[in-house]
Amino acid sequence: MVVRAIVDWYTNFMAAGDSRVQQWTFMGGPAPTLSICLSYVLFVKWIGPYLMKNRPPLSIRWLMILYNSAMVVISTYIFVMLGMLGWFYKYNWKCQPVDYSDNPDATAMAHLAWWYYLSKFLEFTDTIFFVMRKKFTHISTLHVIHHGIMPMSVWWGVKFTPGGHSTFFAFVNSLVHIVMYFYYALAAIGPSMNKYLWWKKYMTAFQMVQFIAIFVHSFQLLFRDCNYPRGFMWWIGFHAVLFWFLFADFYKNTYGKRRAAAAAALNGKAHLNGNGEAKTNGTNGVKANGYSNGVAKTNGVPKTNGVNGINGSNGSNGVTNGSAKQNGYQNGHSNGNGVSNGYSNGVVHRTTTKVDSED
């Protein structure tokens, strides 16, 4: 009885979809789409890496260039057609109900929504290329979630609302993909293009902006009387929020760490601002550390104002006051092995080396 009730509910629910798309590929029910998405995750996370484990990375540069260039063309076509059929001048950006009629524009919009849905399967190729090239670190949680759930998410829109307010998501996303796949096509050419790819982090920021736009466009219906299914308003808005947080986390982890690493490098060892550590090459292993306030350490003993007054008991360990002048500053160090370092206000200005015969 319970099973029968569930089957009847499912049958009636599927029958409530747009009659124009019922016979289109994969539109009869969610099972085919769900199966393909799960197979994708299984392949890119386990099967693919296992198959490539003992194989060298594949050289597929020209295949990648061709694929990414094709995706630029496909994304451009979808974006332009969504604009021409609706968002450039026909649709209302505040509230656009779905036209379920056989009007040529409405039917064309439904077909376009279906093609956009199919393109989400094609985008699985992004990850498959990572597997083929053994770039397993690129197959992040963000990447797999984003690609893995998109076909299933879009399927519901094509099934029940292939047009109207829903298509704003595809419209904005296609614009972003034009830019994104253009970047990937350039990157696939090779290192010679690196000087033209400085804008990667701005592309990520652009992707985050799209989710804000989709979020605002969707949830504005909370404050408007619009003949559009509220359930899809929440569905689209939820995805915008989810993806925004995923991409924000990626942005922070990727570019935040790079900024931190760059700052650390500026304050790292042997840096010219005097905040690092400079090791002499002598046999006694003396270390001389310069600081911006003029403090210098020799063999771990701090001496202020750059003055070193330690005289060792023998020539091999002795540290004497030397003089190294540059731009009017003095502060020299020389150790028994004949290494002399000049400092000015904590900044290394020159290092000279004497040979034994000069002593």
Report, as residue numbers or ranges, the catalytic residues: 146
Distance in angstroms (rounded) separating the CA atoms of residues 185 and 191: 12
Here the tokens at position 75 are 């994304």
Helices (H), 230-293: 230-251, 257-266
Distance in angstroms (rounded) separating the CA atoms of residues 278 and 289: 6
Residue 133 has what DSSP assignment? T
Q: Helix, strand, coil: what percent of the chain each, to 5?
A: 60, 10, 30
How far from 114 is each of 17, 87, 111, 118, 214, CA to CA, in Å?
A: 14, 17, 5, 6, 19
Q: How far is CA 266 from the centre of its chain?
A: 24
DSSP element (H, E) containing 207: helix 200-219
- Backbone dihedral angles phi then psi of residue 328, each to the nearest 5 degrees: 85, 5
Residue 86, number of CB atoms within 10 A of its CB: 25
Q: What is the CA radius of gyration of the chain?
A: 32
Strand partners, 290: 296
- Backbone dihedral angles phi then psi of residue 323, each to the nearest 5 degrees: -140, 125
Distance in angstroms (rounded) separating the CA atoms of residues 343 and 276: 13
Residue corresponding to tokens 């979630």: 145
Residue corresponding to tokens 């063999």: 299
